[in-house]
Amino acid sequence: MTEPDALFCRLDQRNRIVGVGGAWDRFALDNDGAAVVAARVLGTDLFVHVGGEPTRALLDTVLWRVRHAGRSVVLPFRCDSPDRERHMEMTVEPEPGEGILLAYRLLRTVPLPLAAPLRFSASGVPRGRMLFRCSTCNRLLRDGVWCEAATLDDLPAIPIAVSYGVCGECRDMVERLLPN
Ligand SMILES: [Zn+2]
């Protein structure tokens, strides 16, 4: 069962958001997510709010497999704030009529060992200066290696331009957890 204090988001069979609940608005506003406050997302397609084609493709696979198997899956992910690692999990639960209940729960936070808060921006920046960021573990791709942002000491103080993808380890982890 979903805990009452968890954030949740209910989808219809076509992945339209038909309900949100929990401390959703406060969570969104605390996390630069003003665009996803409840009033604005109801009736919209979930995928409109998911950044990066690789992330959308993986989420599409997750939703399809959960519906197909009729079984829930719990997927861990990171949703860091500028100065804290935020370890979360998302429960994807099938509902009657091919609906889906997405429930998000914060497991723990850890302060990031940083001199200055990290800020990321996924829009409005020149493509050439963009870094890939894994939407699941939040690591950055640098010279072909996925690294914790906090271990890179030459990141600029301005918002870092990122495009969201999924690293190989996270892709494998999700694949292992999904029902067949
Ligand atoms: Zn990853």
CB-based contacts of 175: which residues, under 8 Å, 6+ apart? none
Residue 139 CA, ligand 1 centroid: distance in Å? 6
The Å distance, Cα 173 to ligand 1 centre, comes to 9
Output the pTM of the full model. Answer: 0.84
Ligand 1 centroid, distance to 83 Cα (angstroms): 19
Superfamily of chain region 7-177: PAS domain (3.30.450.20)
Q: Which residues pair with 103 in a beta bridge?
A: 8, 91
Task: Convert the pLDDT of each residue in 77-126 to its tens digit.
Answer: 999 988 899 999 999 999 999 999 999 999 999 998 876 777 888 765 55
Report the relative pairing of strands 160-165 and 120-121 from DSSP bridges: parallel
Identify the pLDDT of residue 1: 42
Q: Is the per-residue pLDDT at 56 higher than 80?
A: yes
pLDDT bin (cut points 50, 70, 90) of residue 66 is very high
Domain ranges in the chain?
7-177
